[in-house]
Amino acid sequence: MRILVVEDEPKIAALVQKGLEREGYVVDTAQDGQSALDMIETYPYDLVVLDIILPKRDGLDVLRTIRRRDQTLPVIILTARSGVDDVGAGLDSGADDYVKKPFSFRELSARIRAVLRRPGERRLPKLAVGPLVLDQASREITLNGVPLALTRKEYGLLEYLMLKHGTTVSREQLLAHMWDERSCTADNALDVHMHAVRTKLGPYAELVETVRGVGYRLKGD
């Protein structure tokens, strides 16, 4: 899953990004409201963590713009504005939850998981492709009913291919989804992790098909 953290304080942004990446999420950051909206137009995010006090466009303006474009993208406000009126304004503008600064990362992480578990059009509880079943709530993938022991990157690659089942996913799409632009070794890492995924699929390794010169496709009904 891919999360956008919109925060103009570099230390806070780095703290949240590193914490979420340790939990297996792909995390991008934006330092102002306009950049955040541009990134949301470019990438398919699963959730946005949004500060209110931002350069260029404030968080409430960003939130209202998101809601005009997309009623289902989960948004959690993370801000020092903790008055009753501020909380109400955020929720009335379409936020799914509100976390007050200073905050514990453990609380933020729990709230993110809770929001992502909520039923809605954006999120299916389970995905099934042939013998593979993915439970997005538990972040577990089983093969013929047996859980696969996957690393965070392996899980992320297989999840993305299952979400895009039946279509060819380019290397560029996978790299953008799984690694940020600072990862200079990401291209080689993609090959290593994809090989590991196929190894763990064992006799079902052929489910992950290489489309020569383009990328990968997950086969199966």
How far apart, in whole angstroms, are the C-alpha atoms of residue 48 and residue 39? Answer: 11
Environment class of residue 45 by beta-carbon count within 10 Å: exposed (0-12), middle (13-18) or buried (19+)?
buried
* Cβ atoms of 28 and 57 closer than 8 Å: no
- Do 42 and 36 touch, CB atoms closer than 8 A? no
Name beta bridge partners: 140: 135
Q: Are 109 and 24 in contact (CB under 8 A)?
A: no
Q: What is the pTM of this model?
A: 0.62
Nearest in space to 98 (alpha carbons), one of 119, 81, 113 = 81
The tens digit of pLDDT for each residue in 42-101 reads 887 889 999 988 999 988 899 999 988 888 899 999 887 655 566 677 677 788 888 888
pLDDT band at 183 (very low <50, low <70, confident <90, very high): low
Instruction: Reply yes or no on whether the pLDDT at 185 is more than 70.
Output: no
Which residue, chain included where needed, has tokens 């299952």? 162
Going by DSSP bridges, is the β-strand pair 75-79/47-50 parallel, antiparallel, or unpaired? Answer: parallel
Rounded distance, CA 9 to CA 96, Å?
22
**What are the beta bridge partners of residue 208?**
218
- C-alpha count within 13 angstroms, C-beta hemisphere, residue 136: 24
Full set of structural domains in the chain with CATH: 2-117 (3.40.50.2300), 126-218 (1.10.10.10)
Interaxial angle between packed helices 152-163 and 171-178, expressed in degrees from 0 to 180 and rounded to the nearest 10: 130
- Across the chain, mean pLDDT equals 85
